[in-house]
Amino acid sequence: MDEGVRKAQEEGLDLVEISPTANPPVCRVLDFGKYLYMLEKQEKEARKKQHVISIKEIKMTANIDDHDYQTKLRSALNFLERGDKVKLTLMFRGREATRPELGQRVIDRFTQDISDTGELERNEGFERRSIVLLYMPKVQSRKAPKTHSAPPKKKTEKLVDAETQNKQSGSEAV
């Protein structure tokens, strides 16, 4: 340990303990400020790459007009394509609560319309005067479709072809 400290002081650097639980402890001679900067940079890069999933809420009533429904549907599809979850709240006003089948019709239509991009994650059922459902984006494979094409020629084949072509053209010129 004393030898490591002496070497670090000679080089004008710091002795940093990398793995204190190892036997013997692992230390490294390096610039501590630069080391902290690199760790911070790696953490920042990791935060950039992660996507925070948020829940976006769409509110409707049981007797929603068609144009309003299409607008809300379009918003929900955009949210799902972006990777967010969608919470659908279907509210019943006044006497609408006595006719839950009207609300169920809207829910079935909504579920059918977003079936390509999202799927039902949780149905929380009837809460007071509303029905709450949670949709999550469908996981789609990110692999590109395979195309069937001829395998590329190897470099050695190209060289052999070029050599035979030179020999043939050389014999014709003579």
Q: How confident is the model at residue 143 (pLDDT cuts 50, 70, 90)?
A: very low
Could you give the percent of the chain with pLDDT greater than 90? Answer: 15
Q: What pLDDT, in 10s, does the model give residues 2-16? A: 787 888 888 888 888
pLDDT at 173: 47
| Domains in the chain with CATH codes | 2-49 (3.10.20.80), 55-137 (3.30.110.10)
For 49-102, what is each residue's pLDDT tens digit? 777 778 889 999 888 899 999 999 999 999 988 888 999 999 888 888 788 888
Q: What is the chain's mean pLDDT, rounded?
A: 79
Alpha helices in the chain (DSSP H): 2-11, 32-49, 66-82, 100-113, 155-173
Structure tokens at 56: 């976006």
Q: Report the predicted TM-score, pTM, of the whole model to 2 decimal places.
A: 0.52
- Identify which of 25, 35, 29, 41 has the alpha carbon closest to the alpha carbon of residue 5: 29
CA dist., res. 165 & res. 155, Å (int): 15
- Packing angle between helix 66-82 and helix 100-113, nearest 10 degrees? 50
pLDDT tens-digit series, residues 30-42: 888 888 898 899 8
Who wins on pLDDT, 20 or 113?
113
The residues that bridge with 55 in the sheet, in sequence order, are 85
What distance in Å separates the CA atoms of residue 99 and residue 76, rounded to the nearest whole number?
25
pLDDT at 142: 44
More confident residue, 107 or 160: 107
Q: What is the pLDDT of residue 145?
A: 47
Of the candidates 131, 110, 98, the residue with the CA atom closest to the CA atom of residue 68? 110
**Do the beta carbons of residue 120 and residue 133 sit within 8 Å?**
yes
